[in-house]
Structure 1
Amino acid sequence: MILIILCVVLNINYHINVMRRMEMKDGTRAPVSNNGYFGGEQISTSKFSQLLASSHRDFLLSPTGAQVKVSELEGKVVGLLFAANWYPPCRVFTQLLIGIYEELKTNNPHFEIVYVSSDEDLDAFNEFYKNMPWLAIPFYDLETKKSLNRKYEVEGIPCLIMLQPSKVDDATTLRHGVELIYRYGVQAYPFSNERLMELHEAEREKRENQTLINLLANNFRDYVLSQTHTGLFTQVPIASLVGKTIGLYFSAGWCVPCTKFTPKLISVYEKIKQELTEKGDNEDFEIVLVSNDRDQESFDSYYNTMPWLALPFGDPEIKNLARHFDIQGIPCLVIIGPDGKTITIHGRNLINLYQENAYPFTKAKVEQLEKQLEEEARDLPILVHHVGHHHGLNLVSDGNGGGPFICCVCDEQGSNWAYQCLQCGYEVHPKCIKTVHVHVHGP
């Protein structure tokens, strides 16, 4: 589920900027993703009535339609969910949050969520809320909802504000609940600053002690899968991969960007393997598929197109790896060095930029390739007319208006040098340029 969400985020290409500050029918703003971190505001639990009630209402709605007194929230960890039915990322996040909520409520009754709606009308509110197991502010109470949006400076949905009771019955506002749920799930409970520090420390220790074995193996499995020419799976000991450069390929057959990138990765993988064989030394490169396919049949069909190894379908380490590397979208290629340490999580971008030349993906290799690009750029034209665009395109770099971009020809990420339209932002890899006319050469 986590990687499904991440793929959606990648495909809409940073949706948080697309919907920012859209006005709603009731005058509130359509917040878009809240990426801010926690603040230090202190709120007494005695103020829950001031936060969530009004002069004519001292209750919240329950999923059954019953009225629940606001005072019943005192002493609980309370999450304020700002969301709306019309915005797809809210629907996706809500499905994830429902599972987290139900798991937490089983063992932690002192936890609650309150839905703060930005739905456009009552029917939309009812349609969305009917699937939620938590409380809600009535749709008609626009003033309370606007007040909460202003108080917590909500700038994006979905947004989850966590109110964490302390030992002195105060609550500290934690503003990035959405990110905590995505990254840690139930492990984030009780969503306090102290718990966040514990999780960060655990991650730091895991990175420092990272090995290929503790990344990929668990108490029930010490192997990855390989497939034979007959389509059957064989087991390859993870220990046999130690000392190799390993690519962890987070991907899924239902993800369109994945199915576009996989053939390119296969080509690069085979060229790297061939070059290493010709060199005849002890170096080796391998890729392990970390799949988020939805069923075994889909996994089998997608994996059947690949020449490398894979974690078994549905393996619990898949979610752990996604959290460990903080995967923000698929496809993603994480490169692990021969010592078991992470070289880069940007393997996909390096493949797009440098193909097989990116191996072994180290910082030194990337710096060498960037220097080479810099030298090659001296022979590129400053201005070109590209067959795919009606304006002239200027050669730009990181230092003069360039930077990370998505090529409008191949739809893959690029950086450093690009041909850019200064009028409308159209950008193309230099290697993707097909000119109809070339102007002055330089620089």
Structure 2
Amino acid sequence: MEAASPIINRTGSYYNLLISFTRDFFISSSGAQVKVEELEGRTIGLYFSANWFSQCQTFTPILADIYNQLKEQGSNFEIVFVSSDEDQISFDNFYKTMPWLAIPLSDLQSKKSLTQKFQIEGIPSLVIVDEFGEPIQTEGVELIYRYGVQAFPFTSVRIAELELEEKANQASQTIEKLLSTHARDYVISKNEQVPVAHLVGKTVGLYFSASWCPPCVKFTPRLASVYNSLRDKKHDFEIVFISLDRDEEGYLSCCKSMPWLALPYGDEMVKVLLRYFNVQAIPSLIIIGPDGKTVTREGRNLINLHLDMAYPFTEAQLLSIQEKIDEEAKSYPKAISHSGHKHELSLVSASSGGGPFICCKCDEQGSGWAYQCIECGYGIHLKCAQQVDEDEQVKEGANTANSYCACNGK
């Protein structure tokens, strides 16, 4: 079916945006039909999402919490689910978790026209529209992650106010403000309480992780190895685990595998820190400097790339590392072949196509120098390529030195 042509007495309203020739209603979570005209005068969030994508499953309960808070406050906000699910069962199972309205899955033309109108290129996506159907914000997902319920009514004026508040908070940021509450001024260490004040003057990593997250399970041992190495070298480095576990059993399981500190399970600061640092995926490692200010939000990538050499994660240290890598790259062969790929891999730099990439050997992010297949885009870290060679030599019985590779242990 084709989308409805404009209705004369509603031209320019949200109404024409949200109906089709065969439908002038939404469905509710109870199965009831709700007329589109009942949303007149409201701010509407069009939620493009699907059951099959994990990031949608992660974001939906966060959005539901914000939605329920706004409803309790009596706001004129409504959400409409625009599904990309592949069948009715998947749609029904996912929609059960949502307290808002939805366009029926069978109305494919409405989904297509809305996707095209707002140029939706990925999910989850939350587009906020006004009563005339015009977009107020197209990056609603990020705004919800960053500001939560405070983002409402999502106008540019409101977001500008929040950005000013955010800058003021960052300017006065300290480790104590980040981790303490009125009721708690400590973190946990093997069932003991360690005052947050003991972290002042140290470089601190805030580690967002969970037992149910496979990338977290993979990254934690690597981080622990770096942590222990830095501690052995007497560096003032500490990590605080911020759990996103769904139950206390998972939290305790994580704590057993971690040699560092932790916030208590279910602590109120977890949600605050998630929004403050705009954490949208885990594992995430935020580095706080000795002055209490944020050094980088890319701690995970830096650990994967440089191991303990990344410490103290400052721009000066990263520049020093990059200069060393640039010098080492001069001795690397211009092209290689290895068992992981059928085509020849060429040595590339950031200026010749290296850029940000995901290493096809270790599945971690890389940037700058890489071995890349010009034909199909397959790429790996330089040291992953070296590790492949050394692994092959080991198989042949050759003596090899340990590889300095951020991806070792995959």
Q: TM-score range by the shorter chain?
A: 0.7 to 0.9
1:274 is the counterpart of 2:229: no
Indicate the SS of the match to 2:233: helix
* Map of 1:367 onto structure 2: 319
Is 1:207 equivalent to 2:170 in the alignment? yes
Q: Partner of 1:385 in structure 2? A: 337
State the distance in 2 between where 1:428 and 1:198 align.
43
CA 1:122–1:412 in structure 2 vs 1: closer, same or farther (change >3 Å)?
Answer: closer
* Structure 1 spans left out of the alignment, 5+ residues: 1-25, 29-43, 228-232, 277-282, 438-443
Aligned to 1:308: 260
Q: Confirm or deny: 8 A CA contact 1:164 1:191 kept in the other structure.
A: no
Where does residue 17 of structure 1 map in the other structure? none
Which whole-Å CA distance do the structure 1 matches of 2:2 and 2:338 have between them?
Answer: 44
The question of 1:235 aligning with 2:193 is answered yes
User: Quick one: distance in 1 between partners of 2:107 and 2:212?
Assistant: 41
Q: Distance in 2 between matches of 1:88 and 1:328?
A: 12
Amino acid at match of 2:206: L
Map 1:38-437; keep pairs closer than 5 Å.
Answer: 47-53=13-19, 58-85=24-51, 87-120=53-86, 125-139=91-105, 141-164=107-130, 173-227=136-190, 233-276=191-234, 284-432=236-384, 433=386, 434-435=388-389
Q: Contact (CA 8 Å) 1:271, 1:356: kept in 2 or not?
A: yes
The offset of 1:372, in angstroms, is 1.0
When normalised by structure 1's length, the TM-score is 0.77
Q: What is the one-letter code of the residue matched to 1:368?
A: S
Kindly provide the CA deviation profile for residues 255-305 of structure 1, in whole angstroms up to 9, marking residues without a partner as x: 2222222222222112212222xxxxxx61111111212222211121112
How many Å separate the matches in 1 of 2:363 and 2:54?
23
Q: Could you tell me how far apart the structure 2 residues matched to 1:206 and 1:106 are?
A: 28
Read off the aligned partner of 2:253 and give its amino acid letter. Answer: S
Q: Which moved more, 1:138-147 or 1:391-400?
A: 138-147
Instruction: Determine if contact 2:142/2:278 at 8 Å carries over to the other structure.
Output: no
Q: Relative to structure 1, is the Cα distance of residues 66 and 406 closer, same or farther in structure 2, using a 3 angstrom cutoff? A: closer
Structure 1 position 142, deviation (Å)? 4.8
Comparing 77-86 with 344-353, greater Cα deviation is found at 77-86
Letter in 1 for 2:279: I
Structure 2: runs of 5 or more not aligned: 4-9, 394-410
Q: Secondary structure at the match of 2:264?
A: coil
**Structure 2: how far apart are the matches of 1:344 and 1:51?**
42
Question: How many angstroms apart in 2 are the aligned matches of 1:351 and 1:55?
Answer: 55
Partner in structure 2 of residue 33 of structure 1: none
Task: Tell me how far apart the structure 2 counterparts of residues 291 and 171 of structure 1 sit (CA, whole Å).
Answer: 39
Whether contact under 8 Å (1:60, 1:135) holds in the other structure is: yes
Per the alignment, do residues 45 and 193 of structure 1 end up closer, same or farther by CA in structure 2, a change over 3 Å counting? farther
Q: CA 1:218–1:150 in structure 2 vs 1: closer, same or farther (change >3 Å)?
A: same
CA root-mean-square deviation = 2.9
The 1:27–1:270 alpha-carbon spacing in structure 2 relative to 1, beyond 3 Å, is farther
Amino acid aligned to 1:346: E
Asked if 1 retains the 8 angstrom alpha-carbon contact of 2:2 and 2:109, the reply is no
Which residue is 1:35 aligned to? Answer: none
Q: How many residues align?
A: 383
- RCO higher in structure (CA 8 A, sep ≥6): 1
TM-score with structure 2 setting the length: 0.83
**Segment drifting more, 114-123 vs 252-261:** 114-123
**1:150–1:64 CA distance, 2 compared to 1 (3 A):** same
Shift of 1:381: 1.5
Q: Report the residue type matching 1:306 in the other structure.
A: M
Instruction: Give the % identical residues.
Output: 54
